[in-house]
Structure 1
Amino acid sequence: MKQVIEKPYKLHVKTGDTVKVIAGNEKGNTGRIISVLTKTNKVVVEGLNMVTKHNKPTAKTPNGGITQKEAPIHASNVMLVEGDQVVRTGKKLNAEGKLQRYSKKTGENI
């Protein structure tokens, strides 16, 4: 049997970026990225796409309970916010030969 090794995706957004959701139930809302899941091509945005989680009683939480937490959103459904407008991003080499993200709208490095 052949073993398939999944390469992590390179995404157009990073942890800490402010993004706007462009599709789905949270369309039009903005938030800051908490974490990036490169293997599944998803991002977790602070305060968006909240789901209800039912917790069983344990020694730590004897009553159990219901908690709200953020669920991942596919990276193609978010766009980077720069200033007050959304921008597409690209990658190009800088003077040192490293890849640098830049705004396709303004041409400036991000």
Structure 2
Amino acid sequence: MSMLKIKKGDTVKVIAGKDKDKEGKVIAVNQKTGKVIVEGVNMLTKHTKPSAQNQEGGIVRQEGPIDISNVMYVHKGTATRVGIKMDGDKKVRYAKSTGEVID
């Protein structure tokens, strides 16, 4: 994969799957597998043994990865596609609905 259009810290909306229409902030992006972890989306339960860090152990709820094709960037409250264009000699992302540069 070349340059991904979703980055850590972006606000995204889920457009497919069991968590459709939920919005959240991107916590992590895995460029190799094309997956993102979004705050409060695709919650999984994990059973953990007691350890030095977690004395209690038990059931922990955490976010699971979701495919990058199932999320859409949110710009000014609406989901929009993201494009890449050259700004001088630098690549920048822009919102296709408004044409405004994101970063």
- Normalised to the residue count of structure 2, the TM-score between the two structures is 0.92
Gaps of 5+ in 1: 1-7
Q: Distance in 1 between matches of 2:70 and 2:47?
A: 27
Identify the residue that residue 101 of structure 2 maps to in structure 1.
Answer: 109
Identify the residue that residue 50 of structure 1 maps to in structure 2.
Answer: 43
Is 1:83 the counterpart of 2:76? The answer is: yes
1:56 offset after TM fit, Å? 1.3
Task: Please give the per-residue CA displacement for 1:22-80, whole angstroms capped at 9, x wherever unaligned.
Answer: 00000000000011111110000011110000001224434421100000110000000
Aligned residues of 1:49 and 1:73 also touching (Cα < 8 A): yes
Aligned residues of 1:9 and 1:41 also touching (Cα < 8 A): no
Cα root mean square deviation, aligned:
1.3
Q: SS state of the match for residue 69, structure 2? A: helix
Aligned residues of 1:89 and 1:102 also touching (Cα < 8 A): yes
**Where in structure 1 do 4 or more consecutive aligned residues deviate above 4 Å?**
none
Higher strand proportion, which one?
A: 2
Alignment partner of 2:31 out of 21, 38, 59: 38
Identify the residue that residue 61 of structure 2 maps to in structure 1.
Answer: 68
Q: Percent identity?
A: 51
Q: Which structure is larger by alpha-carbon Rg, 1 or 2?
A: 1
* Letter of the structure 1 residue corresponding to residue 94 of structure 2: Y
Q: SS state of the match for residue 18, structure 2? A: coil
Identify the residue that residue 29 of structure 1 maps to in structure 2.
Answer: 22
Gaps of 5+ in 2: none
